[in-house]
Amino acid sequence: MTSSTQAPAIPFTAIDCHAHVMRTDVALAANRHSAPERDVTPEEYLALLDAHGVSHGVLTAPSFYGTNNAVLQEALEAYPARLRGTGIVAPDIDRATLLAMDRAGFTGIRLNWTKRSDLPDLSTPDYQKLFVTLRDLNWHVEVFLESEKLPGVLPHISRSGVTIVFDHFGNPEPTDGVNGEGFRLLLAELEKGTGWTKLSAPYRLRGAPPQPYVDALRAAGGLEHLVWASDWPWVQIGDDLSYQKCLDWLTGWIPDPGERHQVLVDNARTLFRF
């Protein structure tokens, strides 16, 4: 493509690394723990970003569609300059399908296994092959799981060397906090340089204050392995949140403007391949 036909580059001001689009007319997975309450379009999301000076976003697949990523892919293909995505896939997905998703703007897969009593066996050949393929494609594996369950899951992902992204501070168990076994495994991934964590959704910390987790994450992996996210549109959370409040939380956790820029722009560009 010549420079005369290329769309003008959009300056990076901030990247929201976790949000959702959804439609109520799409079939839902049988084992879902939530459901869309209304249609949420990419246009609504981008207008919200524009209103708050945020230039780019990452759309994360909600669990209630299962492995159907059609709604998400349509958004990525409509706005390739501003959006990237993380999908949910079956463990036996083939490389050609992953490559097609890569071209559409996907940069990782999501294991959304919170609130589940039984978890898949990640030691199976299909999962192990998938993690190696994702590593080779420079994708990541995003994990949304209570941290007390990580000891049974994380070693099976980590052995492949694939990049691992932990949703919402790693969803730590509040009683043991930063000293919990699962959270210590998370910190070890950051120390190795293979783990990243989203500073997002403090309302999912089960009542614990977020700052001790911010400090522990920084100490383990450095600032360069942290990104920020809004978790918009806050499914099943309530109506007392606002996008500005999510930005203000980050200002409180990381007061230095230069450090916040690294989290909001530099780190996220690297992780999500903008």
d(CA 163, CA 173): 23
**Rg value, the chain, Cα:** 18
**pTM recorded for the entire structure:** 0.94
* Long-range contacts of residues 212-219, Cβ cutoff 8 Å, at least 24 apart: 212/177, 212/178, 213/169, 213/170, 213/172, 213/177, 213/178, 213/183, 214/169, 214/253, 214/254, 216/178, 216/183, 216/187, 217/169, 217/187, 217/190
Q: Are 268 and 15 in contact (CB under 8 A)?
A: yes
Query: Structure tokens of 166?
Result: 């932990």
111: three-class secondary structure by DSSP: strand
Instruction: Kindly give the confidence (pLDDT) of every residue in the chain, 274 residues in length, as a single tens digit, with 9 standing for 90 and above.
Output: 333 445 568 999 999 999 999 998 888 777 776 787 889 999 999 999 999 999 999 999 998 889 999 999 999 999 999 999 999 999 999 999 999 999 999 999 999 998 888 899 999 999 999 999 999 999 999 999 999 999 999 999 999 999 999 999 999 999 999 999 999 999 999 999 999 999 999 999 999 999 999 999 999 988 999 999 999 998 777 668 999 999 999 999 999 999 999 999 999 999 999 9
Query: Structure tokens of 44?
Result: 């609504």
Rounded to 10°, the helix 70-78/42-51 angle is: 50
